[in-house]
A and B are shown apart, each in its own frame.
Chain A
Amino acid sequence: MTPTTASTTASAADAAATGADRAAAPALLIRGGRPYGEDVADVLVEDGTISAVGPDLSAPEGAEIVDAEGCIVLPGLVDLHTHLREPGGEEAETVETGTRAAARGGFTAVHAMANTTPVADTAGVVEQVLQRGEDAAWCAVHPIGAVTVGLGGERLAELDAMAGSRARVRVFSDDGKCVSDPVLMRRALEYVKTFDGVIAQHAQDPRLTEGAQMHEGRVSAEIGLTGWPSVAEESIIARDVLLAEHVGSRLHVCHLSTAGSVEIVRWAKQRGVDVTAEVTPHHLLLTDEEARGYDAVYKVNPPLRTRADVEAVREGLADGTIDIVATDHAPHPADAKDREWDTAAFGMTGLETALGIVQQTMVDTGTLTWRDVARVLSETPARIARDLDQGRPLAAGEVAHVLVWDPRPAAEVDPEEHASRGRNSPVAGRTLPGRNRLTLLAGRPTVRDSRLAEH
């Protein structure tokens, strides 16, 4: 087992990823943008840190000036649910390509799911993923640890070893599989209290979803694909919030997708259960009607639901029942999707289109403010994962993880332009608003005008 240093500081991982470049990065003045979409204020970045925020700042000599007039300035986005596929799935994605995609999407940190080969269920694997993230240096990579050995759902992985490793794992998930055994789930919830960890549950009753292909409802009945009932998700969430309440632990619900799930989480929060929940961009936008053409690009777990569910998750995100948006970015090789629906892989890419979808579905509709966007796509995911230097305020003294987003241009999504190896974007051909004007990772530009800034 890898020796660990319990005293590793919270920001060490990020600092390690980016610190080497900090001193070298020239000063940069973001001029004329609107932090959080509110009043116009300039943001001055020096030595990888935000040194000043305010109107009409003057640029130090030699500083680069970025014209951000009309742009929104946000803390760098944080994704709590990313499949980087490495190790083992390099045909679909690598840490390098996945973090490039993240940067293009405006993210400065991603949390890499554990369902790799081998599974990220030991300190060794999570440290390997961490190291690959540091080498790539497109954004911070925080490995998520598996809850059970090999995602087998039978016995707990060595959670404490992963928590204490250099990767400082705080989020544990068997994502892709549900920790369906109630006793095991209870133990996991209890155990991670040791180091203030959280169990991120993929809520899917396995018996109710045997062979399931898509949301069970009118479309599945008509097109003859095996149904995936909403109750398979809702029953697990209901059980888990009660378990979390009983043992006084933190629970995070991954990719909640149904109106009933929103109701259950709302109810649990009213009871004071320490539960947080996420929704994906695709569940904010798309419905099971997409399955009618049997294009497996729309095959995803949990499945696309109905229009009523889409309305409910939007409402849940607006009223705070759902805490965050997370991408569940799940790239696949073309062959895994270009086939019969039944045999195609589950999952969609999302990193490079997430903010565009959130802007279109939530901001442009007047449902969320840009300050809310900062909350659901940066601050709260960082808080849930206990990332100490991400999702921080745009204020002097903070590490300069910054996104400058121009909400005005709109463009058609072309997956061929994506940095991700995956081409399985469910919004290919759709027009989405917004453009990544600039992304700073600890003061160093990773993206300029939606193009990667090589380093």
Chain B
Amino acid sequence: MKHLTGIGDLDRASAIELLDTSTRMVATQERQMRKLPTLVGTTVVNLFMEDSTRTRISFEAAAKRLSADVINFSAKGSSISKGESLKDTALTLRAMGADAVVVRAPASGAAHKLAHSGWIDVPIVNAGDGTHQHPTQALLDSFTLRRHLGGEQRDGERAGSVDGQGLDGLHVVIVGDIMHSRVARSNVQLMTLLGARVTLVAPPSLVPVGADVWPCDVLYDLDEAIALAPDAVMMLRVQRERMLGGGYFPSAAEYTRRLQLTQERADRLPAHAIVMHPGPMNRGFEIAGGVADGPRSVIVEQVAAGVSVRMAVLFHLLASNAREES
């Protein structure tokens, strides 16, 4: 694995390796001294051409815990906002001696472009590109799923190592704006790669034309999906601005009536089922506040897992990148 631009860069074995390494990283974060010397002397650039404080901080923490130097290059106030192209930015980063670039961009394919255009020859990590992919989010989601629902069932509790395991046999329902969601695309790919069954739920106007060949089912009705007794439900953020110009659905009230994960709907889930959300949430819109804070919710854990998963990704990309060093 030279880059992580999308789940397509992974096969099942390498995805499981990343999850296993993430488990190791979680363990290191429970030590007295959380900083690891692993990437000392390397420079990781966070190139954020789109605002995303959460993801940037998560990557920054991951890199710093591994002792890498971190340079944050954000769109606001930088040359990017003055019209500098991605290419020129890449050439700048190369000149600055970046060893890896974490990129978040509004354009689908920006990470792929950085990885394969020849502008810069270092590992590229996609931190979200347009409506295409967000592979580290998918990895942390699968990590959280595996942690909660993997392992062996012992005395009603799950226990034992989940190392080497996929998500075989699990059923995950992903609900919301599928069309504009890079999280959904990455998750459908990764979860099915790991053996899970995925059901998408969205109003038909928010299901992309051409999704009929995705390896998942598509439903329009959340209640129908809940009746399938899934092991996990992931709610996606609804970008309210999509209601206005796009007219993807008539009103917030109509959306929440049909697709909000209410307490009543959550109560109909199987006892072991967990509730996920990649954040940021619109409480009271796609998810009821009580459900987000309730016992099924693993939303805060997802955030914590994010740092460990991103440490694992940086470790694999930078430490495995054997170079000609004299």
- B-contacting residues of A (Cβ < 8 Å)? 213, 216-227, 229, 293-294, 335, 338-343
Given A222-B214, A224-B109, A227-B208, 14 new contacts (CB under 8 A):
A220-B208, A220-B209, A221-B209, A221-B210, A224-B131, A224-B133, A224-B182, A225-B109, A227-B209, A229-B209, A294-B109, A339-B113, A341-B108, A342-B109
In Å, the complex CA distance between A225 and B108 comes to 6
Q: Which of A218, A227, A229, A340 contacts B109 (CB 8 A)?
A: A340
Which residues in A have their C-beta under 8 angstroms from that of B159?
A: none
Shortest beta-carbon distance from A64 to chain B in Å:
47
B211, CB-defined interface residue at 8 Å: yes
Q: Are B209 and A340 in contact (CB under 8 A)?
A: no
In the complex, residue of chain A having the shortest beta-carbon distance to the beta carbon of B129? A224
Interface residues of B in 179-201 (CB under 8 A from A): 182, 185
Residues of B within 8 A of A335 (CB): 85
B119-140 CB mask vs A (1 if < 8 Å, else 0) is: 0000000000111110000000
* Partner of B208 from A221, A293, A340, A341 at Cβ < 8 Å: A221
- CB-CB nearest in chain A for B130: A224
Q: Which residues in B have their C-beta under 8 angstroms from that of A216?
A: 209-210
CB distance from B210 to the nearest CB of A (A): 3
| Residues on B with beta carbons closer than 8 Å to the beta carbon of A220 | 208-210
The contact sample of 9 A-B pairs, CB cut-off 8 A, is A216-B210, A218-B210, A221-B209, A223-B108, A224-B129, A224-B130, A227-B209, A293-B112, A343-B85
- Is the CB–CB distance between A340 and B210 below 8 Å? no
Nearest residue (CB) in A for B49 is A340
- Tell me whether B210 and A217 are in contact (CB under 8 A): yes
B320 contacts partner chain A, Cβ-Cβ < 8 Å: no
B117 contacts partner chain A, Cβ-Cβ < 8 Å: yes
3 closest residue pairs by CB, A with B: A224-B132, A294-B109, A221-B210
B213 adjacent to chain A (CB < 8 Å): yes
- Asked if B116 CB lies within 8 Å of chain A CBs, one says yes
A218-B215 Cα distance, complex, nearest whole Å: 12
Query: Which chain B residues lie closer than 8 Å to A227 at the CB level?
Result: 208-210
**Most chain A beta carbons < 10 A, residue from B108, B112, B133:** B108
Docked Cα-Cα span, A123 to B90, in Å, equals 46
Are B185 and A224 in contact, CB atoms less than 8 angstroms apart?
yes
Is the CB–CB distance between A342 and B130 below 8 Å?
yes
B105: Cβ under 8 A from any A Cβ: yes
- Are B107 and A341 in contact, with the CB atoms below 8 A? yes
- Write out the residue numbers on chain A whose beta carbons fall within 8 Å of the beta carbon of B87: 338-339
Q: Which residues of A contact B185 (CB under 8 A)?
A: 222, 224
Task: Tell me which residues across on chain B come within 8 A of A340, comparing CB atoms.
Answer: 86, 105, 107, 109-110, 113
Cα(A221)–Cα(B185), bound, Å = 9
Q: How far is the CA of A125 from the CA of B39 in the complex (A)?
A: 62
Inside 8 A of B107's CB, which chain A residues have their CB? 340-343
Q: How many residues of B contact A (CB 8 A)?
A: 27
Instruction: Verify B213–A218 contact, CB threshold 8 A.
Output: yes
Interface centre among B182, B185, B209 (most CB of A within 10 A): B209
Kindly list chain A residues whose C-beta atoms are within 8 Å of the C-beta of B116. 293
Q: Measured between alpha carbons, how far is A339 from B90 in the docked complex, in Å?
A: 11
Give the CA-CA distance A223 to B126 in the complex, in Å: 14
Task: Give Cα distance in the complex from A216 to B210, angstroms.
Answer: 7
The docked-state distance in angstroms from the alpha carbon of A338 to that of B116 is 12
- Knowing A338-B117, A340-B113 are in contact, say whether A224-B108 is a contact too (CB < 8 A): yes
- In the complex, how many angstroms separate the beta carbon of A249 from the nearest chain B beta carbon? 34
Among B86, B106, B107, B185: residue with most chain A CB under 10 A: B107
Please give the distance in Å from B36's CB to the nearest CB on chain A: 34
Complex CA distance for A222 and B105, rounded to whole angstroms: 17
Q: Please, how many angstroms separate the alpha-carbon atoms of A221 and B132 in the complex? A: 9
Chain A positions within 8 Å of B210 at CB level: 216-222, 227
Most buried by B among A219, A222, A227, A339: A222
Give A226 to B182 CA distance when docked, in angstroms: 13
Chain A residues closer than 8 Å to B105, beta-carbon distance = 340
Q: Which of B105, B117, B182 has the most CB of A within 10 A?
A: B117
Residues of A within 8 A of B106 (CB): 342
- B residues 203-259 near A (Cβ < 8 Å) are 208-214
Cα A339 to Cα B49 with chains together (Å): 14
List the B side residues contacting A225 at CB < 8 Å. Answer: 108-109, 130-132
A226 to B213, CA, bound (A): 18
Q: How far is the CB of B132 from chain A (nearest CB, A)?
A: 3
A-side contacts of B112, CB under 8 Å: 293-294
Closest partner residue, chain A, to B207 (CB atom) = A221
- The answer to whether B132 and A223 touch across the interface, beta carbons within 8 angstroms, is yes
Measured CB to CB, the nearest residue on chain A to B246 is A210
Residues of B within 8 A of A339 (CB): 85-87, 113
> Are B209 and A217 within 8 A (Cβ)?
yes
Bound CA span A338–B87, Å:
8
B185: nearest chain-A partner, CB-CB: A224
CA distance A343 to B129 in the complex (A): 14
Tell me how far the C-beta of B14 lies from the nearest C-beta in chain A, rounded to whole angstroms. Answer: 20
**Chain B residues whose CB sits within 8 angstroms of the CB of A226 once the complex forms:** 131
User: Which residues on A sit within 8 Å (CB–CB) of B85?
Assistant: 335, 339, 343
Q: How far is the CA of A294 from the CA of B109 in the complex (A)?
A: 6
Q: How far is the CA of A217 from the CA of B112 in the complex (A)?
A: 20
A229 to B214, CA, bound (A): 19
Task: Please state if A223 and B213 are interface contacts (CB–CB under 8 Å).
Answer: no
**Bound Cα distance A341, B112 (Å):** 11
- Once the chains are docked, how many angstroms separate the CA of A175 from the CA of B113? 30
Complex Cα spacing A294 to B8, Å: 14
Contacts of A218 in B (CB 8 A): 210, 212-213
Q: With A223-B132, A224-B133, A224-B182 as known contacts, state yes or no: A341 contacts B109, CB within 8 Å.
A: yes
Complex CA–CA separation, A224 to B6 (angstroms):
12
For window 158-187 of chain B, which residues contact chain A by CB distance below 8 Å?
182, 185
Interchain CA distance A338-B118 in the complex, whole Å: 11
Kindly provide the distance from the CB of B53 to the nearest chain A CB, expressed in whole angstroms. Answer: 22
Residues of B73-127 contacting chain A, CB below 8 A: 85-87, 105-110, 112-113, 116-117
* Closest partner residue, chain A, to B182 (CB atom): A224
Residues of A with C-beta under 8 A to B214: 221-222
Chain A residue numbers with a CB within 8 Å of B182 are 224
**Nearest Cβ in chain A — how far from B200, in angstroms?**
12
Residues of chain B within 8 A (CB-CB) of A342 are 106-109, 130
